[in-house]
Amino acid sequence: MNKDLEFETYLNISPEKFGIYLFDIKNKKNLYKEELIIYKIANFSENNILKKFLDDNIFKIEKLSGNFIENITLIIENENIFNLQIGIKKKNYNNFINKEYLKNYLTEAKDLFKENYQDEKIMHIIVNKYIIDGKNYQSIDNNLECEQLGLEIQFKSISNSFIYDLDKILENYQIKIIKYLDGNYIRNFFKENIDVSEMAYKILAGYNENEVMVVPRNQKKQAFFERFFQLFS
């Protein structure tokens, strides 16, 4: 088995704490976990605490996993995370809602957000409510009969200027951030006494059935209608 597929690495950044985790996918637990309580940092590029934290831990993780860290998922807990909820409604001329119709509908909403907030990096797209012929639903089935569909969609994003410094710091270790997650969102979703790395893994695995997964165009990932929708960035 490819060791890249056995483990995932998560970096948690908050105003009071750094955390880094090597997560064993098969056994669903951390093989490595280190956290550091800090004072509030305004600018990562002007502070060496994060760099020292990474220096102290990256080599240990690579030695334990037997592989270099190339990709990492960043979990951000910050008051600057932008939350926007929009409502859209349109006539359905196909009479039935299917996977392709929803995908096109959600792609339009994503493109509209990106057009109006060009300096924002989308972290999460969540469908909070489906409005089908005037009735509210929390989830829907494939091939549902419908004349008019409305969606209430929540976007969570972080500014490119905020994550720029973090990207540059990790580039020094030849590590690329492949996903940005809102730490407060995933903690509130699970409300369980489990590590934030396990929460992040479950969110990326589609535990929130109404979250739209946004993945790079060249990333091969199995999509399935029953758990979540997959869009391309």
Residue 62 predicted with pLDDT over 90: yes
pLDDT of residue 57: 97
223 pLDDT band, cuts 50/70/90, is very low
Query: What's the pLDDT band for 103 if we cut at 50, 70, 90?
Result: confident
Q: What does pLDDT average to over the chain?
A: 85
Let me know the angle formed at the C-alpha of 89 by 118 and 157, rounded to the nearest 5 degrees: 25
Distance CA 99, CA 106 (A): 11
- Name the least confident of 98-102, 119-123, 154-158, 161-165: 98-102
Q: What is the pLDDT of residue 222?
A: 46
At 6-25, the pLDDT tens digits run 899 999 999 889 999 999 99
pLDDT of residue 220: 47
Instruction: Give bridge partners of residue 37 from the DSSP assignment.
Output: 17
Helix, strand, or coil (residue 101): helix
